[in-house]
Amino acid sequence: MLKTHKTTIAWIVGALASVAVSSTTLATDPAPEIDTILPGDARLSLPDFDAYEVEYTSAFGRFINQVRPFQSDDGAKISVINLIHMPQGVIVDHRTIDRASLRMETFISPYFAWGQEHVTGRMDANGYDWVRTPLDGSEIIRIRGEWDTQGVFDGLGFSPTFAAFMPMEVGTRFQIPRDQARADGTLNAVMIEMEIIGREVLQLESGVRCECWVIEETDTQGATHRYWIGREAPFLFRRHRDIGGPRDFVSEVLSYRPL
């Protein structure tokens, strides 16, 4: 009987030691690498597409997203217009994206990081030049600065940009540069972390269907956003904003049509 107890105790001690070794191994494993994708990265591949219009649900009911490829003097571009229905009227947000690099190049929109303003901005690989017009009629402000990220990607997500990152394997993690307002009234290019968390066949109530990659984003405030992305227009099929946070909301396709 004593021998049996000794054998049992030895087995338990050995098992605990094994768990301790395993825990130590897990604790010292390096974190998975996070790749960096900048505008102009050779891996970016956006499919050809024709102009289209898509209607999404919004916190105020709905908004219209119009995307048009066009040719300019300095190459192919993409125009993205968002018509956002608000209780007090309609917000018009317009940005242009360089087709080859997917760098955001112009930005014209109401902007509320520093108060109620309207911004007309230009961006390139080196920096930005924005004109801030306060809506209260106070003095117009011009801000200019540099960044070292070869420019920034479109920050709204309601554009073809994410589709150019695909296909990626589930589990892939990467980071991309976006513009962010500083407290001093200027801009900074910050890295936003992304992870491909799965694939999903999405069948929406509107009848729109997508074999999507599901991308999860963690922004610089720690908020989590999720995107359902396809390789065909309208590219973004669903966005779940600020999951579990104060601005938690799901926006998805209500209708889609070529223009």
What's the gap between Cα 141 and its chain centre? 28
Question: What torsion do the CA atoms of 194, 200, 204, 207 make, to the nearest 10 degrees?
Answer: 120
Over the range 82-114, which residues count as b (16 or more CB within 10 Å of their CB) and which as e?
Answer: bbbeeeeeeeebebbbbbebbbbbebbbebeeb
Rounded to 5 degrees, what are φ and ψ at 122? -125, 140
Contact 187, 145 (CB under 8 A): yes
73's tokens: 């003097």
Query: Considering the entire predicted model, what is its pTM?
Result: 0.84
Task: Going residue by residue through the chain, which has 259 residues, state the pLDDT in tens, using 9 for 90 and above.
Answer: 444 444 443 433 344 344 344 444 445 555 567 899 999 999 999 999 999 999 999 888 899 999 999 999 999 999 999 998 888 888 899 999 999 999 999 999 999 999 999 999 999 999 999 999 999 999 999 999 999 899 999 976 799 999 999 999 999 999 999 999 999 999 999 999 999 999 999 999 999 999 999 999 998 888 999 999 999 999 999 999 999 999 999 999 999 999 9
Residues facing residue 119 across a β-bridge: 109, 132
Residues 6+ apart with CB under 8 A from 27: none
**What residues does each domain of the chain span?**
35-258
CATH number assigned to the domain with residue range 35-258, chosen from the 4 options 2.40.360, 2.60.40, 1.10.45, 3.40.50: 2.40.360
Handedness of CA 41, 45, 50, 52 (dihedral sign): negative
